[in-house]
Amino acid sequence: MTVIVLTNCPVGLRGFLTRWLLEISPGVFLGAPSARIREVLWNEVRQYAGQGRALLAYQTNNEQGYTFETHDHAWHPTDHEGLTLICRPNPAAPRAAQKPPDVPRQGWSKAAKRRKYGGR
């Protein structure tokens, strides 16, 4: 099984993919082409995606039973001890580094309520 997801890609690319795959939702293509055809399709997607993004997921013989590839995504696959995981950027990391570590977080826990209302 092969899944290709397109975001903000040219309409012509979507038309090209419908020759081999079924478009089950706008930009989501599903099918079972051979490995050779899948590679040809993915090369065409990467070449003609333009400013768009693309994701390819397919079955394979590994621990997870599938693998995936991305094109122009901020999130990218990373190998972690034999498993392919998605690595996404953390835009909050610089702000978290500026916060002093000794200030307790304010929240709705019982401890936070006790600190706020003084006791019990």
Q: What is the pLDDT of residues 60-93, one digit of tens each?
A: 998 899 988 999 888 878 888 888 888 888 877 6
Q: Is the pLDDT of residue 110 over 70?
A: yes
Q: What is the pLDDT of residues 1-49, one digit of tens each?
A: 999 999 999 999 999 999 999 999 999 999 999 999 999 999 999 999 9
pLDDT of residue 117: 72
pLDDT computed for residue 79 by the predictor: 86
User: Could you please report the per-residue DSSP string of 90-116?
Assistant: -TTHHHHHHS-TTSPPP-SSHHHHHHH
Q: Give me the phi and psi of 119, to 5 degrees please.
A: 120, -170
pLDDT computed for residue 30 by the predictor:
97
Q: Tell me what pLDDT residue 107 has.
A: 64
For residue 22, give the amino acid letter.
Answer: L
Which of 16-20, 68-72, 95-99, 112-116 shows the lowest mean pLDDT across its residues? 95-99
Report the alpha-carbon distance of residue 116 to residue 65 in Å, rounded.
Answer: 50
Which 8-state DSSP code applies to residue 36? H
